[in-house]
C-alpha cells in the first residue's frame, strides 16, 4: 500500500523497493530497480556529511530540462507552429552555483538560457553562459545604469540579452546608455496582466500588481522609442501571471491576454519576435492532479499544447507571423531534484508513563479520575471525555494555588492520558462518533523531533503553509503504527510540520510513522524542495546551511557522488551576524586564563575547555551524534 502517495507525487522519479526503502529511479531507465536513499545516507556518513543533508540528483534536473524542451518541440511540430521555443531558467528559483552551472550544462543542447531579476543574478548568468547567440538572457527587475550597461555589453558579446522594461524610468537610461556605448539594445516590455489566477502567488496579476506597465505606459514606451528611432529594438513582450498556477484554464486566459498585447505592439510598428509567458507551470506537490493550490490539473504536454495552440490561433486571427515562445519555468525545472534528509532525534508520546505513585497520600480528584474507567462505554464517551478534562484542570488549578503537590499532579495527568487513550480505542470500535470528538485522536499524536530547521530548509512550509511530500525513507514494508507531527530543533513553536499530504481532505495534521527502534536511526525525507527553499531559508537560531551532496545515476546502473559542500560551521554562522571568531576565541581564552590565575580551574582544565570551544566553532550547527544505522 502506497501510504505516502509516492506514486502520485513522485513523477516517476521515486519509488519504494521490495525491501521497503525509497529509491531514486534513473529517469532514462524506468525499468531500473533504483538507488536506495539509505545507501546514499550511508555514503554521506562515510564522507562525514552527516544529517541533515540536502541531496541533489543531477539526472532529475537534466531530465526536467529535456522534458520541457522536448514537449514544446513535439507540440510545435505537431501543430505546424512556425516559430520555435526557447526556455530560460529564472535564477531566483535556485541561485546556487552548482544548480546554475548544471542547468547551463544540461540546457546547452536546447539553447536554454536564464532569466535574471537583479545585478547579482545578472553577473551569475553572464559568467555562466557561453557566447551562444541562441541562448536568451532575459533581464527583469528594476534596473539602474550599471545593470543596463551589463545587458548592452552582453548584446555586443553576442548574447541575445533582452532588457525588459518594468518601470518607465528605465527607458531614458536604456536610450542614453545605448547611444553612449554605441550598442543597439534588445528591448522587451512587461505588461501588467489582468487575468486572475488561482493559487498562492496570484497577486502578480490585476490592477494593483506591483509588476509591469499599464496599457498607457506601454503606449508611452512605444512613442518614446519611435521618437528616438528605436522602435525596431522593441521585440519582446513579457508577462508573468504568477507562480504555481494550478488551473490550466487560467493559463489559457493569460496567454490569450498576452497575445492581444503582442498583436497590438506589432500593429504599432514594433519588430516583435518573442512572446515571453513567464513562469507558472505548476508542480503537483500533493499528487492530487487537481486545481487545489499545491497541485495542478494538467500535464506538461497539456501545458505546452495549450500555450502553443492559444498563441497560434490568436495570432493567426490577426495574420501575424508566429513568434518564438519563451517561458521562464523555475519550479517545474528544479523542484524534484532536491530532497532534504534528516534523522529523528527523539519522540514525545501522549501516553501515561511509569511513575512511582504517591503511596498513602491520595487525593479525591485522583479517585474521581479513576472512577471514569467504571462508566467508560460508547453511550457515555463524551461525558467521560468532559469529566477527564474537568478533573485534570481542577488538579492543575489546585497545584497552582499550592494546595496539591507535583507528584499528585503527575499521577493525575497520567490517569487523564490513560482515559484519553481508552477513549481513543473505544472510538475506533464505534460507528457513530460524537461531533466534538471527531479527529480528537490527532491531538494525541506523537511529536517526532527531527534534526533540521524548518526556517533554514523549508521556509515555505513555515511562511505560507506549503505542503511538501514528507515520509520515512526506509522500513516501508512495516506498517507505520503511530501518527506524529514533526518538530524541528529550533526553539520556536512555529518550527514544526503539522500539515501533510492527504488523499481524502485538504491536508492531514499528522503523518503515519514507525516506532523508533533502540540503536537504529530513523531517517525521513522531505521531497520536491529544489525550488525557492534554499535561498529563502534563514538563520533562525543560527542553524546554518546543511550539508549538500549531488549524485548522478549512471545509465545501466551505479552512481557517483559528483559534488559535495559541507554545511556552515558555527564559526561561519557567527561570522554572518558580524561576530569575529578570532576575537571570540581570544576573549574566551582570556576569561579562562583569569580563572586559572584565580585558582578556580587548573591549566589542564583551561586547555580542555579551550579545545571544546575551538572544536565547537569548527563543528556543524545541527545536532551531532554517532550515526548508527
String marking each residue 36-75 x if it binds ligand PLP according to CB under 6 A:
----------------------------------------
Beta carbon of residue 279, minimum distance to ligand PLP (angstroms, whole number): 2
Nearest-10 Cα torsion for 33, 549, 102, 536: 120
Beta strands in 113-231 (DSSP E): 113-116, 136-139, 160-165, 186-190
Taking the C-alpha atoms of residue 325 and residue 276, their distance in angstroms, rounded to an integer, is 6
String marking each residue 187-226 x if it binds ligand PLP according to CB under 6 A:
----------------------------------------
**Residue number, 36 or 202, with CB nearest to ligand PLP:** 202
**Residue number, 281 or 528, with CB nearest to ligand PLP:** 281
Per-residue buried b or exposed e for 334-363, using 16+ beta carbons within 10 Å of the residue's own CB: bbbbbbbbbbbbebeeeebeeeeebeeeeb
Q: Are 83 and 323 in contact (CB under 8 A)?
A: yes
Which residue has cell 559528483?
562
Beta carbon of residue 164, minimum distance to ligand PLP (angstroms, whole number): 9
Among 281, 307, 501, 524, binds ligand PLP (CB under 6 A): 281
Among 10, 188, 246, 278, binds ligand PLP (CB under 6 A): 278
Q: Is position 530 an interface residue for ligand PLP (rule: CB under 6 A)?
A: no
Among 86, 240, 363, 483, binds ligand PLP (CB under 6 A): 240
Among 279, 459, 472, 525, binds ligand PLP (CB under 6 A): 279
Separation in Å, CA 75 to CA 80, 276, 392: 8, 17, 66
Taking the C-alpha atoms of residue 154 and residue 159, their distance in angstroms, rounded to an integer, is 5
Beta carbon of residue 231, minimum distance to ligand PLP (angstroms, whole number): 24
Q: Is position 86 an interface residue for ligand PLP (rule: CB under 6 A)?
A: no
**Cα 404 from chain centre:** 49
Relative to beta strand 523-526, strand 338-348 is: antiparallel
Q: Is position 546 an interface residue for ligand PLP (rule: CB under 6 A)?
A: no
Q: Is position 328 an interface residue for ligand PLP (rule: CB under 6 A)?
A: yes
**Residue number, 532 or 623, with CB nearest to ligand PLP:** 532
String marking each residue 121-150 x if it binds ligand PLP according to CB under 6 A:
-------------------x----------
Residue nearest to ligand PLP (CB): 279
Catalytic positions? 491
Q: Are 361 and 412 in contact (CB under 8 A)?
A: no
Q: Is position 115 an interface residue for ligand PLP (rule: CB under 6 A)?
A: yes
Q: Please identify, among the stretches 68-76, 221-229, 329-337, 583-591, the one whose residues bind ligand PLP according to the rule CB under 6 A.
A: 329-337
**Residue number, 69 or 508, with CB nearest to ligand PLP:** 69
Among 330, 469, 537, 544, binds ligand PLP (CB under 6 A): 330
The count of residues interacting with ligand PLP (CB under 6 A) is 16
**DSSP track, 439-480:** TGGGGG-EEEEESS-HHHH-HHHHHS-----EEESS-TTS--
Relative to beta strand 160-165, strand 496-497 is: unpaired
Counting beta carbons within 10 angstroms of the beta carbon of residue 134, is it exposed (0 to 12), middle (13 to 18) or buried (19 or more)? Answer: middle
Binding site for ligand PLP (CB under 6 A): 90, 93, 115, 140, 240, 243-244, 278-281, 328-332
Amino acid at each position: 500500500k502506497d501510504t505516502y502517495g509516492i506514486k502520485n507525487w513522485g513523477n516517476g522519479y521515486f519509488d519504494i523497493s521490495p525491501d521497503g526503502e525509497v529509491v531514486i529511479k534513473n529517469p532514462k531507465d524506468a525499468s531500473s530497480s533504483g538507488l536506495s536513499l539509505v545507501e546514499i545516507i550511508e555514503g554521506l556518513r562515510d564522507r562525514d556529511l552527516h544529517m541533515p543533508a540536502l541531496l541533489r540528483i543531477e539526472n532529475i534536473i537534466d531530465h526536467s530540462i529535456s522534458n520541457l524542451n522536448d514537449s514544446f518541440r513535439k507540440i510545435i511540430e505537431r501543430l505546424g507552429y512556425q516559430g520555435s521555443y526557447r526556455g530560460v531558467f529564472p535564477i531566483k528559483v535556485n541561485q546556487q552555483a552548482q544548480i546554475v552551472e548544471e542547468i547551463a550544462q544540461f540546457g546547452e543542447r536546447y539553447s536554454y538560457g536564464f532569466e535574471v531579476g537583479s545585478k547579482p543574478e545578472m553577473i551569475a548568468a553572464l559568467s555562466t553562459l557561453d557566447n551562444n547567440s541562441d541562448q536568451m538572457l532575459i533581464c527583469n527587475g528594476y534596473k539602474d545604469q550599471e545593470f543596463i550597461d551589463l545587458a548592452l555589453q552582453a548584446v555586443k558579446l553576442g548574447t541575445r540579452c533582452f532588457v525588459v522594461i518594468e518601470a518607465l524610468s528605465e527607458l531614458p537610461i536604456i536610450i542614453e546608455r545605448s547611444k553612449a556605448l554605441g550598442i543597439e539594445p534588445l528591448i522587451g516590455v512587461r505588461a501588467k496582466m489582468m487575468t486572475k489566477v488561482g493559487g498562492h502567488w496570484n497577486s502578480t496579476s490585476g490592477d494593483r500588481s506591483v509588476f509591469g506597465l499599464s496599457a498607457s505606459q506601454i503606449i508611452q514606451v512605444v512613442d518614446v522609442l519611435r521618437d528616438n528611432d528605436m522602435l525596431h529594438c522593441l521585440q519582446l513582450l513579457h508577462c508573468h501571471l504568477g507562480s504555481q498556477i494550478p488551473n490550466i484554464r487560467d493559463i489559457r486566459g493569460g496567454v490569450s491576454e498576452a497575445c492581444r498585447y503582442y498583436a497590438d505592439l506589432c500593429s504599432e510598428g514594433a519588430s516583435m519576435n518573442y512572446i515571453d509567458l513567464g513562469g507558472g507551470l505548476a508542480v503537483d506537490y500533493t499528487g492530487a492532479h487537481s486545481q487545489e493550490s499545491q497541485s495542478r490539473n494538467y500535464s506538461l504536454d497539456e501545458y505546452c499544447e495549450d500555450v502553443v495552440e492559444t498563441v497560434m490561433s490568436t495570432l493567426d486571427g490577426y495574420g501575424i507571423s508566429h513568434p518564438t515562445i519563451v517561458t521562464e519555468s523555475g519550479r517545474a525545472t528544479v523542484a524534484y531534484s532536491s530532497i532534504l534528509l534528516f534523522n529523528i532525534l527523539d519522540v514525545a508520546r501522549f501516553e501515561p508513563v511509569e511513575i512511582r505513585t504517591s503511596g498513602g497520600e491520595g487525593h479525591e480528584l485522583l479517585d474521581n479520575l479513576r472512577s471514569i474507567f467504571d462508566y467508560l462505554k460508547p453511550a457515555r464517551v463524551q461525558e467521560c471525555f468532559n469529566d477527564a478534562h474537568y478533573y485534570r484542570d481542577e488538579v492543575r488549578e489546585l497545584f497552582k494555588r499550592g494546595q496539591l503537590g507535583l507528584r499528585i499532579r503527575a499521577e493525575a495527568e497520567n490517569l487523564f492520558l490513560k482515559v484519553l487513550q481508552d477513549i481513543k480505542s473505544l472510538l475506533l470500535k464505534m460507528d457513530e462518533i460524537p461531533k466534538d470528538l471527531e479527529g480528537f485522536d490527532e491531538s494525541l499524536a506523537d511529536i517526532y523531533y527531527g534534526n533540521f530547521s524548518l526556517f533554514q530548509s523549508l521556509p515555505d512550509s513555515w511562511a505560507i503553509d506549503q505542503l511538501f511530500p514528507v515520509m520515512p525513507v526506509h522500513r516501508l514494508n512495516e506498517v507505520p503504527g503511530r501518527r506524529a507531527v514533526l518538530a524541528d530543533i529550533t526553539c520556536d513553536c512555529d518550527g514544526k510540520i503539522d500539515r501533510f499530504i492527504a488523499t481524502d481532505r485538504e491536508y492531514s495534521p499528522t503523518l503515519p510513522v514507525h516506532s523508533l527502534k533502540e540503536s537504529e536511526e530513523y531517517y525521513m525525507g522531505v521531497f520536491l524542495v529544489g525550488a525557492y527553499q534554499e535561498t529563502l531559508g534563514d538563520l533562525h537560531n543560527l542553524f546554518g546551511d546543511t550539508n549538500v551532496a549531488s549524485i548522478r545515476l549512471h545509465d545501466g546502473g551505479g552512481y557517483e557522488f559528483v559534488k559535495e559542500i559541507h554545511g556552515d560551521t558555527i564559526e561561519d554562522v557567527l561570522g554572518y551576524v558580524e561576530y569575529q571568531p578570532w576575537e571570540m576565541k581570544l576573549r574566551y581564552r582570556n576569561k579562562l586564563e583569569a580563572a586559572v590565575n584565580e585558582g578556580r580551574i587548573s591549566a589542564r582544565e583551561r586547555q580542555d575547555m579551550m579545545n571544546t570551544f575551538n572544536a565547537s566553532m569548527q563543528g556543524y550547527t545541527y545536532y551531532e551524534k554517532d550515526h548508527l544505522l
